[in-house]
Structure 1
Amino acid sequence: MSGKLLRVGTVYIPVTDVEQSAGWYADHLGAEVSYRDEDKAIVNLADQSFFLVKAAEGECSNFIDIHGKERFSLTFEVNGLEALESVHEEFRVKGIHVGDIEDRGHAGRNFVFDDPDGNRFDVWSELSPAYKEKFLSH
């Protein structure tokens, strides 16, 4: 390969009501809505663009793993356990469906949360070393 993939530019998330979902992402997650029409909204969150795309009822970004467990396809990172606990509590107070903070046997801790359409996301207490080096070492 002559070039290399440098970053993920956009993540697509299926939603049933674009207007309602864009509002939820803005109000509950602090996303900035940069575009909206009847079929999609672009929200910016965690240095990433998310396209909320109108989809059929019951569609979501989750998948079932080999053991029959429903899984998320995206993990957000926060800077440490204290930050994870703070975000977990903030989400709980806002009425977001959140799972318990878990020890999964690797570095850090995680919890899972859902948007109104059932799209499941993970939050991890460990920032990637490359991100820390690039953005937090100054």
Structure 2
Amino acid sequence: MRKKLLRVGTVYIPVTNVCNSLKWYTEKLGAVESYKDKKGKMAIINMASQSFFLVESPEQESMNFMDTDGNKRFSLTFEVDGPAQLESLHKELLLQKVKAGEIEDRGHPGRNFVFSDPDGNLFDVWSELSPSFKEANMLEKEQT
């Protein structure tokens, strides 16, 4: 069967203040601003080989959802290249006063931690790069 969907093009993140969020994402996560509308209601940032739209939204909106056990969950996982990079990013975010949970073992390969932006949007970070990303970027060949 041929692939019908090639990649995720854009993720929309609800935020209460686009200008403040734009500053936070660029300073804390190294995102690059690519567009900001004149009304200050939307901005586009690029990070992790992805475009993200920061969209002004009411305070109660978020990307999060509740699972059937009543746990608030994230809807997006970022990948880093190995445990050392995971630990380094975790330490860096904590030093920048970003809310981040402990590094955890969830019973699958690699380790994870969750952090949140100022609006409470949760994001996961995983220590394992997907094989297709490694292959597409020839990372395994470079490391040998």
Instruction: List 4+ stretches of structure 1 deviating above 3 A.
Output: none
Alignment counterpart, residue 60 of structure 1, candidates 41, 62, 67:
62
CA 1:80–1:55 in structure 2 vs 1: closer, same or farther (change >3 Å)?
A: same
5 Å matches for 1:1-138? 4-37=4-37, 38-135=40-137, 136=139, 137-138=141-142
Instruction: Tell me how far apart the structure 2 counterparts of residues 76 and 104 of structure 1 sit (CA, whole Å).
Output: 16
Between the two proteins, the alignment pairs up a number of residues equal to 138
Partner of 2:25, secondary structure, is: helix
**AA in 2 matched with 1:8:** V
Unaligned residue ranges in structure 2 (runs of 5+): none
Q: CA deviation at 1:123?
A: 0.1
**AA in 2 matched with 1:99:** G
**AA in 2 matched with 1:109:** R
CA deviations on 1:28-57 (whole Å, 9 max, x unpaired) are: 000001111221010000000000000011
Partner of 1:67, secondary structure, is: coil
After superposition, the CA RMSD in angstroms is 1.2
Instruction: Tell me how far apart the structure 2 counterparts of residues 113 and 2 of structure 1 sit (CA, whole Å).
Output: 36
- Identity among equivalent pairs (%): 61
**AA in 2 matched with 1:32:** V
Give the TM-score of the pair, scaled to structure 1. Answer: 0.97
CA deviations on 1:52-99 (whole Å, 9 max, x unpaired) are: 000011211000000000000000000000110000000000110000
